[in-house]
Structure 1
Amino acid sequence: MTALARRNDAVLVRSATTAHRELWHDSVRIRQEWLDVALSTQPADRATAERCVTAIYARISRPRPRFEWVDSPAKALPLVAGWPTLDDLYRWIRDPLPPGRPPLASDLAAVTAGLRAALSAGVSHADPELTPARQPGKKQEHWPDLPPLDALARGVPLPVVLHQSVRGSLHRSLGKGFRHPVRAALAADLPVCWYGQQDACWIGYYDTLQRLGLATFSAGITDHFGQWTDLARSCGWWWPGEGVCVLSDRPATVRVTPMPGTWHDEVTVSAITYRDGWQI
């Protein structure tokens, strides 16, 4: 390779790295939008939430349910007692299948999984969400989790950095930081629910890729995804049942502290108080 060719290659590498840094900076802004959604203490937008749930029910051939609103997940427990748990849903993917019709939550889980697979298929690169990226070479080691700009400078692919700094960051903040302590304070065999604003973990990730121009979805998938994004922006946890859906309002107050030893602005929720006074 001539000296001129080497210089040209170096310019291309620097240009690519600069473009990747700009995309990463944009992703941080979008990630913060979704973290704000997930930690919002605004009253639920009940009309939007009910519209979205009705549309999601229609996708599994169910009519509009009756809506029961509660001020906290704790207040939902008496209303959802006896509804399917995660163990119940697992029985519907094993042999032999239980008799009768699958519960609504099982159908909803299948449709949601299909949506997430379709979103992944629309990503312009191999999506680390479904196929964990590994370094080239015989060992096929995982890429290290480094400070994002250091990672890009050291050649970690942009898709890996975005997955770590958006999907991974939101999961750590909202999974470990929020959902886990709330679930631990509720019943051990909590019926299956979806997390509303805390579903920002996966919703925010694919929204980020789409807004950065790194994912393209069909009109049908965009419409379906839009129902979930609007729902996440509208309410707290929700329990889908036959003929009735129980939804929780968002918390009244949420206090967070930075999560130590992390690179992507993760937070730990130190206190949560719901509108009925129930608190963690």
Structure 2
Amino acid sequence: MSAVPMPSTFPRRGTFSDNPDEYAESIRAVCAQRDRWLGYGLKAGPSDRTTAEFAVAQLYRRSGYQEPKFVWVPSPPAAAALITARQLAKNAGVPARIATILSDSRHRMDRRIDRRKIEWPQQYYYSDRNAQRDLEARVAVARRSPTDAARAGISPDPIIRRTVRKSLHTSLFDGVATAVRSLTPRPFGSITWYGQQEAHRVAYYDVFRHFDLLEFGPEDTELLDVQSALIESTGWWWAFDDLAVMSERPTALHTEPIPDPVHGEVRLHNSSSPAVEFGDGSGVHVLNGTVVPHWVIHDPTVERITVERNVEIRRSAIERIGWDTYLDRAGLRLVDTDDDPGNPGCTLQLFATPAGWGDEGRILLAVNGSRERDGERRRYGLRVPGAFSSAVDAAGWTYGLAGADYGRLLRRT
């Protein structure tokens, strides 16, 4: 749908300019704020212990508890070992109370955002139903850059939601925090606050107040300040009745942009050493966003790949040694080969999976329709059902098409 011009009948407060260029510039400033918070979430190096302890003490006092004693550890795994050894998880009063206070605050701020009434001079959608209009805006924003969405006349709220909260959640919570969690036993019985990797929770609300789009109540504003201090100063932490366990930030953290990032998302990646590493030597290896064991980085072999049950780890290991090398060493049986009708000049190859993979599937080897950042076009393998005997039919299945329909494509991407 195209933007439908609508005249502004009165000046709006708590939003951005109607002028497309000025509005796009304001959204560009929102993205700069998002990147600032992303920087906090990815920061490596020593914590600011004084600031972190002061912020945690404030949360204790707001919860009706005395300021705790503080124990600093070099990493989340070290924290998990300490919590388990001392059986601290039995003390559930403080963490439950702090979690409730922070959750209630977010609900109050969300309600204030939801109640915002903005008359926007250009509506990207035709429907008068708010739910449908919001859904259409979210879909449109997900596919456009923030400034393009602004120039299309989409109101600021869905843009901020997608390019700040969702983007940071993807990069930090889904990405970094999930990888670090793989280092700790689950569950070990306590509420974890992820410190710097919770930036998505705070940045979203902070953007509304930073740009004077909305004013929150005094209690929520103060809690935002406390949480901001924690994100800027420390890594993960745990609260107990009279003790707070504080983890240092990573000593090293490596990322790369996700392919074609629309909203500034990044993913963990380091091809030579742990993508996230802590001062006690603990760390996690990650290739292109996939958490992998040590051997994938340092000693990938056909034998290890064959017995690996995790599909994503197996794929990462194969790409590490290269598909051509893997196919040669593994001795996979070629089922079919054909020209790729969706990718002129390239070939599709269909292989039977090795016996050690434990299924009757197939591997379709294809060439990426677009070039990588280095200009190369990567070969990649896709798992397809074992019933396929035609490489073209298998390629069509990956797009939800019959082989004949896939054969009529001009070019895939």
How would you bin the TM-score normalised by the shorter chain? 0.7 to 0.9
How far 1:124 sits from its partner (Å)? Answer: 8.4
Q: Which runs of 5+ in 2 are unaligned?
A: 12-16, 118-123, 270-274, 285-413
Moved more, 192-201 or 101-110: 101-110
Question: CA RMSD for the aligned pairs?
Answer: 2.8
Structure 1 residues 279 and 221, CA gap change in structure 2 (3 angstroms): same
Query: Is the CA contact (8 Å cut-off) linking 2:23 and 2:151 kept in structure 1?
Result: no
Q: Which runs of 5+ in 1 are unaligned?
A: 1-5, 86-100, 128-133
Structure 1 residues 142 and 66, CA gap change in structure 2 (3 angstroms): same
Structure with the higher helix share, 1 or 2: 1
How far 1:260 sits from its partner (Å)? Answer: 1.7
User: Which position in structure 1 is the counterpart of 2:54?
Assistant: 51
User: Which position in structure 1 is the counterpart of 2:404?
Assistant: none
Query: Is the CA contact (8 Å cut-off) linking 1:124 and 1:216 kept in structure 2?
Result: no
Query: Is the CA contact (8 Å cut-off) linking 1:123 and 1:216 kept in structure 2?
Result: no
**Structure 1 counterpart of 2:48, one-letter code:** D
Q: Does 1:185 align with 2:175?
A: no
Q: Does 1:153 align with 2:156?
A: no
Give aligned-pair identity as a percent. 27
Q: Does 1:274 align with 2:297?
A: no
Structure 1 residues 217 and 260, CA gap change in structure 2 (3 angstroms): same
Question: Of the two, which has the highest radius of gyration?
Answer: 2
How far 1:20 sits from its partner (Å)? Answer: 2.4
1:167 to 165, 168, 193: 165
How far 1:64 sits from its partner (Å)? Answer: 0.8
How far 1:269 sits from its partner (Å)? Answer: 1.5
**Structure 1 counterpart of 2:107, one-letter code:** A
Cα distance between partner residues in 2 of 1:247 and 1:115: 23
TM-score, with length taken from structure 1: 0.81
The 3-state SS of whatever aligns with 1:233 is helix
Structure 1 residues 50 and 20, CA gap change in structure 2 (3 angstroms): same
Structure with the higher strand share, 1 or 2: 2
**Structure 2 counterpart of 1:195, one-letter code:** Y
Cα distance between partner residues in 2 of 1:21 and 1:262: 18
User: Deviations along 1:192-232, whole A, 9 cap, x unmatched?
Assistant: 11011111111111111111111212333322221111111
Moved more, 230-239 or 14-23: 14-23
**Structure 2 counterpart of 1:278, one-letter code:** S
TM-score, with length taken from structure 2: 0.56
Structure 1 residues 125 and 83, CA gap change in structure 2 (3 angstroms): same
Counting only pairs closer than 5 Å after superposition, residues 59-74 of structure 1 correspond to structure 2 as: 59-74=62-77
Q: Does 1:42 align with 2:41?
A: no
How far 1:276 sits from its partner (Å)? Answer: 1.2
The 3-state SS of whatever aligns with 1:268 is strand
- Between the two proteins, the alignment pairs up a number of residues equal to 252
1:114 to 104, 111, 131: 104
